[in-house]
Structure 1
Amino acid sequence: MRAAIIGATAVGGAGAVLGGRALLQRQAAIARSRIGKPHGEEAIDADRVWRKRFDGPPLELLVLGDSIAAGLGAERRKDTLGARVAKGVGARLKRPVRLRTAAVVGSESSALGAQLDALPADYRADVAVIVVGGNDVTHRVPISASVTHLTQAIRRLRAAGAEVVVGTCPDLGALRPVPQPLRALGARISRRLANAQAAAASAAGARPVSLRRAVGAVFISDPHEMFSLDRFHPSALGYRRTAMALVPAVVEVLS
């Protein structure tokens, strides 16, 4: 009898797992159809020298990572994440800042190495900002693998003389187009990844910034203002708030 109960429990548990997986797959398809690609696959090119009115040679700011790092969803180049950070850092340090965006829409952490490889051989950044992780969560990349790629990128940058600031994985629980329970699962995994990224960044000599703690609450409480048309990527205001969380850390590592 006990063996029969155990067997039935095992079968029922397996069925629940399979059923749960099928539910999550259906919900992922729903989320993809709701979000769509209204912004396309290319972010606005914001690479230029910002705060030109200040004297001195420009600080070299490099931005690596995914679509948020690239500024997808911003309708004007001055509203991209890189431009917002460049303007904020330039204003605080009274220096012009030259932005170079190597981030690529759709990137996982495994793409960071290729983004660095694509830079000109003679390019040297004074500071790099990395924002990555959301695609690792949605594509179910193991956290250990994500963190390994992030660590390798930080070490390469530090070896080349650059300071590094890492904006950790945003809270995917803020994404209203994603139905429950998939949204709750995404929130839980993104928080675990963010914590692992913060620990790895600190160990590798970078300055982590928790985007979940800094701006997560306002994205949840005011999604219509913080998100762009696709309700997945930040709006101009969303990028502004995100940059405001990153700028103090960038200024700190450069000082």
Structure 2
Amino acid sequence: MRRGQRGGDHSTPIGVIHQLVLRWGDAECATTRRSVQRWLDGVAFVDVQARTFADFWQAQNKAALVAEGPLWVVLGDSTAQGVGASSPLHGYVGQVLAGLAPRSTRPWRVLNLSRSGAQAREVLTRQLPLLHELDQEPDLVTCGVGSNDILGTLPRRFHSTLRQLIERLPRSSVVLDLPLPDGLWTIGGLCSPYVAGVNRTIHTAAARRGLPVAEVSRHFARPWRGQFAADRFHPNDVGYRHQADAVLAALPRTALQDQ
């Protein structure tokens, strides 16, 4: 064993792993261990949230279908569920709903068809057909999806699916673009050009239909500190407030008029 070497050959993968295991016990790594543990705890907490928030919206959906008032149908993924917020109603949907309340003499009904983990293909093939099966025309539809496709769907298919989805949305729809992860995580800067290209597809397809786009990319942006939940992926109440601001700014006049 060479002097100063704790064990293992540094030049081999096994040696590197051995050194990492030893360093994990060092006092100098205590901060890293705590950070990783907090992140793991945050992921576990958000995973539980995804289930409880889904139960909340299912109950709300049943009530919305038998109530009266203007109808808002929500399509999308975990951000539409509000995962990461302190409660389902502190996600962007709940915060937009609070913004609409003073402008209407009747309470808005929310039919939230989103699902945590959904990709664009699921919104197109599962959520959108549920919307089309409704026996009433919604006064507002919002559609925000794509974050789960960035690393999970081949680019050509992703862009094609987004165009198909936007082409089939009702005329009362608002489309959400994606936040640019510049300066976020280790690979945020590398992903940002790709996400910017996805946003161009969203804006172009929406413009072809004459649909407004909620510019989440502009409202929910750097500096990121204080805008994320414990899993460092989903927004917290503050992050969702910025997303809600983007949606409220994009709402058509018909949604803003007294219902």
Calculate the TM-score normalised by the size of structure 2.
0.70
1:154 maps to a residue whose letter is I
Work out whether 1:221 is the aligned partner of 2:223.
yes
TM-superposed CA distance for 1:147, in Å, is 3.5
TM-superposed CA distance for 1:98, in Å, is 0.5
Change (3 A) 1:42 1:81: farther
TM-superposed CA distance for 1:228, in Å, is 0.9
Instruction: Give the equivalent residue in structure 2 for 1:36.
Output: 43
1:68 maps to a residue whose letter is T
Instruction: Give the equivalent residue in structure 2 for 1:171.
Output: 180
Task: Show CA shifts across 1:5-52 (max 9, x none).
Answer: xxxxxxxxxxxxxxxxxxxxxxxxx9xx86734311436224749xxx
Change (3 A) 1:149 1:124: farther
Larger gyration radius, structure 1 or structure 2: 2
Higher mean Cα deviation, 90-99 or 234-243?
90-99
Work out the CA distance in 1 between the residues paired with 2:160 and 2:103.
33
Instruction: Give the secondary structure class of the aligned counterpart of 2:178.
Output: coil
2:89/2:95 contact within 8 Å kept: yes
Work out the CA distance in 1 between the residues paired with 2:223 and 2:51.
28
Instruction: Give the equivalent residue in structure 1 for 2:114.
Output: 103
Work out the CA distance in 1 between the residues paired with 2:189 and 2:110.
36
Change (3 A) 1:140 1:153: closer
Give the unaligned 5+ runs of structure 2.
1-35, 62-66
Instruction: Give the equivalent residue in structure 1 for 2:245.
Output: 244
Instruction: Give the secondary structure class of the aligned counterpart of 2:114.
Output: coil
Work out whether 1:155 is the aligned partner of 2:167.
yes
Instruction: Give the equivalent residue in structure 2 for 1:187.
Output: 192
Work out the CA distance in 2 between the residues paired with 1:95 and 1:204.
29
Work out the CA distance in 2 between the residues paired with 1:149 and 1:93.
35
Work out whether 1:125 is the aligned partner of 2:132.
no
Change (3 A) 1:93 1:148: farther
Higher mean Cα deviation, 129-138 or 116-125?
116-125
Instruction: Give the equivalent residue in structure 2 for 1:3.
Output: none
1:84-99 equivalences under 5 Å are 84-99=95-110
1:110 maps to a residue whose letter is R
Change (3 A) 1:103 1:191: same
Work out whether 1:137 is the aligned partner of 2:146.
no
Change (3 A) 1:48 1:91: farther
TM-superposed CA distance for 1:57, in Å, is 4.8
2:181 maps to a residue whose letter is L
TM-superposed CA distance for 1:137, in Å, is 0.9
TM-superposed CA distance for 1:68, in Å, is 1.1
TM-superposed CA distance for 1:75, in Å, is 2.4
Work out the CA distance in 1 between the residues paired with 2:154 and 2:51.
23
1:249 maps to a residue whose letter is A
Instruction: Give the secondary structure class of the aligned counterpart of 2:123.
Output: helix
Task: Show CA shifts across 1:179-224 (max 9, x none).
Answer: 2xx22221121111112111111112311122111221xxx2142x
77, 86, 92: which one pairs with 1:75?
A: 86
Work out the CA distance in 1 between the residues paired with 2:240 and 2:52.
13
2:141/2:172 contact within 8 Å kept: yes
TM-superposed CA distance for 1:94, in Å, is 4.4
2:129 maps to a residue whose letter is D
Instruction: Give the secondary structure class of the aligned counterpart of 1:247.
Output: helix
Instruction: Give the secondary structure class of the aligned counterpart of 2:195.
Output: helix
TM-superposed CA distance for 1:89, in Å, is 2.1
Give the unaligned 5+ runs of structure 1.
1-29, 50-55
2:215 maps to a residue whose letter is S
Change (3 A) 1:248 1:235: same
2:46 maps to a residue whose letter is H
TM-superposed CA distance for 1:135, in Å, is 1.2
